[in-house]
Structure 1
Amino acid sequence: MSLDSEVMQTIAQNWVIWFVTIVLVVAAVIDGKQLRVPNWLTYPMVISGWIYGVAFSPYAGWEGLGYSLVGTIVGLAVLLPAYAIGGMGAGDVKLMAGVGAWLAAFGAWQGVGDTFFAFCVSAVVGGVIAVGMVLWTKTWSKHFGQFFSIWQEIISIRNPETLATIAAERKSTMFLLPYGIPMAIGTIAYFAWMGMLL
């Protein structure tokens, strides 16, 4: 078997990973342009992940749906705290839920773990990009002060609804990071590191 045919066979076996990769790239491009990840992309991704889990995954049936739902919950859970206090858009949260729905339906508990670790890598990438953006715009002192202000609010207020309102008021004064971009970079980097793409 030639190297080309081996690569094609691996891609065919891992088509779910490639599908998730393509959706993440599309989401990153849209988020970069519009500062939002649209529902027409996120909802179908989540729902199709459930359908794949029930009908077509290696664990097809209730087991596949169960894994997909657990992956969805993990995808939601890792970003929901940031969303609850206004630090992230709902589209980003739903996108990560879609990633979890597909990865868990495809890989069972390994897929659930992959969802969590993809989030971890994405968070690191997001942090690096955020620091880079602050350095590039030379607004270090402004954002450093806002970071400590936000941290103090989280500790002292502890009410997600109030924190979200404060964050919404502050949003117009901040240089926003379209989180779909670090999510795509981090998740795809994780896929590549783990050998899931080829």
Structure 2
Amino acid sequence: MLNAIEVILICLVAQAALTDLAMRKIPNVLILSGLLLALILHLLSGQAGAPVSQWLAGVVAGFFLFLPLYLLRGMAAGDVKLMAMVGGFTGPSQALQIAVLSYLTGGAIALLMLLLSGRWRDSARNLRLICTPLLLRLLGVPLLPVPLAPKASVGGIPYGVAIALGTLGVVAWQHH
């Protein structure tokens, strides 16, 4: 049986996924509402220290688990904030599980989108452009940073869908 925190979390990530699919954006009001709801539910849980050990630690964990991909331009800020909100509901341990499952799901979605759009060659070119300087630096060759071309992206994926599926997977596995 799902508890109140899980039901509200599933509703919020489902809304984020639908909005991300429709508009390619996750609204801040959804994130902020979720963060506030998670904090209130943890305060009402009666567990001593839950707002710090679960809510705050989960928010920080969720945020920092997705921050590297944002910094590498692999996802949008809304996706990072959504994962922070998910962490606020679940706590740091489950946030890690959800992040790993979301990474795997997001990778599968990205590959599927690349294959269906026929832009896998462009993606391979971008990967080569990103990895070549890194490899040369590892070999000790000093290089100046080279920015990507303005239209280098082969398209974004609705990562809110991957986060929603990752969340659903972890919650379902707990009740298995």
Alignment of 1:22-171 (within 5 A): 22-53=11-42, 55-60=43-48, 63-67=49-53, 68-104=55-91, 112-152=92-132, 166=148, 169-170=150-151
Q: Cα offset for 1:166?
A: 4.2
Unpaired runs of at least 5, structure 1: 1-9, 105-111
Q: Supply the distance in 2 between the matched residues of 1:140 and 1:88 (Cα, whole angstroms).
A: 18
Residue 179 (structure 1) aligned to one of 134, 159, 164: 159
The alpha-carbon distance between structure 1 residues 154 and 193, as it changes in their structure 2 partners (threshold 3 A), is farther
Contact (CA 8 Å) 2:87, 2:95: kept in 1 or not?
yes
Contact (CA 8 Å) 1:119, 1:186: kept in 2 or not?
yes
Q: Cα offset for 1:50?
A: 2.2
Q: Supply the distance in 2 between the matched residues of 1:153 and 1:28 (Cα, whole angstroms).
A: 35
Contact (CA 8 Å) 1:31, 1:178: kept in 2 or not?
yes
1:4 equivalent in structure 2: none
The alpha-carbon distance between structure 1 residues 146 and 48, as it changes in their structure 2 partners (threshold 3 A), is same
AA in 2 matched with 1:136: L
C-alpha RMSD over aligned residues? 2.3
Q: What is the aligned length?
A: 168
Contact (CA 8 Å) 2:5, 2:38: kept in 1 or not?
no
Q: Cα offset for 1:24?
A: 0.5
Comparing 139-148 with 25-34, greater Cα deviation is found at: 139-148
1:6 equivalent in structure 2: none
TM-score by length of 2: 0.85
Q: Cα offset for 1:148?
A: 2.6
Q: Which has the higher helix share?
A: 1
1:109 equivalent in structure 2: none
Q: Supply the distance in 1 between the matched residues of 2:38 and 2:124 (Cα, whole angstroms).
A: 39
The alpha-carbon distance between structure 1 residues 97 and 154, as it changes in their structure 2 partners (threshold 3 A), is farther
Contact (CA 8 Å) 1:43, 1:94: kept in 2 or not?
no
TM-score by length of 1: 0.76
Residue 189 (structure 1) aligned to one of 166, 169, 175: 169
Q: Cα offset for 1:194?
A: 2.2
Q: Cα offset for 1:85?
A: 2.5
Q: Cα offset for 1:26?
A: 0.3
Q: Cα offset for 1:44?
A: 1.8
